[in-house]
Structure 1
């Protein structure tokens, strides 16, 4: 079971993360399912827009830590990388609907969506530094461009949660919508996009993505460093402390 629900209706392809009991923590299978769906969508003339949503109370808690900690060398990276590249290469507009928490890649993937709407209570967090890791998904390149170097440094070096208002102020989200109206707002946006002339729409997206080479290069650089960081004592200590619900040993977390 992939824990990804996929539906196509009136040109709108919806990918719903559906592992609500685990706060939609992403597994290798979930990454691969989303990658395959996005790649297939590029070849499907019926698809006009991609909508990214999540079931339950949380958009996503990020990567499944136990999956990362217990992975075989190389296995985890392949599926994550496949998803990253599939989203970057998606030819259709991607609209994200965010609620609850967006942790780690739950926030960085939004940098590769075209429009993002969230509820007022949502919390974003880029916790990589607190796990002994480095930024991923070109966030070290895109966030400074989007929010400025100082704010990007705050988000990535401190790793503290921030809210919807701050996310909108610095351009991470397109709009903040009351929770009761969020789904309807995103549906309306998707319907509007689906009704646009498709040649003009797809090429407008392509023209806006005019730094794709730099983004892909940064993804590669970050991925190499991310894999290296996962092997450090600090990261191993952070993972073990998280999994065993104990305080981090600061002597090892350096």
Structure 2
């Protein structure tokens, strides 16, 4: 396995770090496959109590690698990106994110499925689906209106609004604000250790109860979004918008 995502297991805490800094941790098809495999293994590994996702102290993820996305567009529900979504939604262990710098596209919608999201003041969340000629994904069209109300959700999903760390906390998309990336990552590890100190089966049952009430509706929404996303990618406007952002 390559090192596009690094894996560190320390006393039950699994830290997964996006490791493509030259591309601002943009996710390509290989990373989607690896990320899914790592999370699937974590869910089945009795030595893993909690999972921490980070891009390091400077950048979480710029979202999809646009060139790779055009060259290898998802074509059905078994595409690596959609497989990853199902694995994330099925994980019953605590999932924590430490976010600094860019969290764009799926780098932002992924956070909606984490149990705790800690951000630094440098965090910048954006969901630029409409400007790219595509539609919302990963359940964001269902989860964001419920979390924020229609108007704020529309600002993000239709208006391409940028949320910095402090505003993300104020809007309820993150639970803690820290001054810089190092502090954010340290605090996320401390939180994970606290969760590890609790009875693990009770913790997992609690997570399942929190999630299961809306699980069927969420899964159906993700399926519907995914199909529409595939259709959008095939349109001339999406292809033109994506190509326009690719730098040689």
- What's the TM-score once normalised by structure 1's chain length? 0.92
CA distance in 2, matches of 1:78, 1:185: 34
Please say which of residues 26-35 and 53-62 is displaced more in the overlay.
Answer: 53-62
Alignment of 1:148-187 (within 5 A): 148-179=149-180, 180-187=182-189
- Matched residue, 2:56: 55
TM-superposed CA distance for 1:91, in Å, is 1.3
* Partner SS, residue 158 of structure 1: coil
Listed as ranges, the gaps of 5+ residues in structure 2 are none
Q: Measured at CA, do residues 2 and 225 of structure 1 come closer, stay the same or move farther in structure 2, by a change above 3 Å?
A: farther
Please say which of residues 69-78 and 226-235 is displaced more in the overlay.
Answer: 69-78
- Matched residue, 2:208: 206
Listed one character per residue, the Cα deviations across residues 35-92 of structure 1 (whole Å, up to 9, x for unaligned) are: 1111111211111100001136311010000011112663896110111111111110
Please say which of residues 40-49 and 161-170 is displaced more in the overlay.
Answer: 161-170
TM-superposed CA distance for 1:10, in Å, is 1.0
Residue 193 (structure 1) aligned with residue 195 (structure 2): yes
- Of residues 234, 239, 245 in structure 2, which corresponds to 1:242? 245
Listed as ranges, the gaps of 5+ residues in structure 1 are 246-254
**Poorly superposed stretches of 4+, deviation over 6 Å:** none
CA distance in 1, matches of 2:237, 2:70: 13
CA distance in 2, matches of 1:87, 1:48: 15
- Matched residue, 2:35: 34
- Matched residue, 2:223: 220
TM-superposed CA distance for 1:162, in Å, is 1.6
Please say which of residues 57-66 and 73-82 is displaced more in the overlay.
Answer: 73-82
Please say which of residues 76-85 and 12-21 is displaced more in the overlay.
Answer: 76-85
- Matched residue, 1:250: none
CA distance in 2, matches of 1:220, 1:46: 32
TM-superposed CA distance for 1:244, in Å, is 5.0
CA distance in 1, matches of 2:130, 2:179: 31
Q: Which has the higher contact order (CA 8 A, sep 6+)?
A: 2
Please say which of residues 227-236 and 68-77 is displaced more in the overlay.
Answer: 68-77
CA distance in 2, matches of 1:194, 1:50: 10
Q: Measured at CA, do residues 216 and 75 of structure 1 come closer, stay the same or move farther in structure 2, by a change above 3 Å?
A: closer
- Matched residue, 2:141: 140
* Partner SS, residue 42 of structure 1: helix
CA distance in 2, matches of 1:62, 1:110: 12
- What's the TM-score once normalised by structure 2's chain length? 0.95
Q: How many residues align?
A: 245
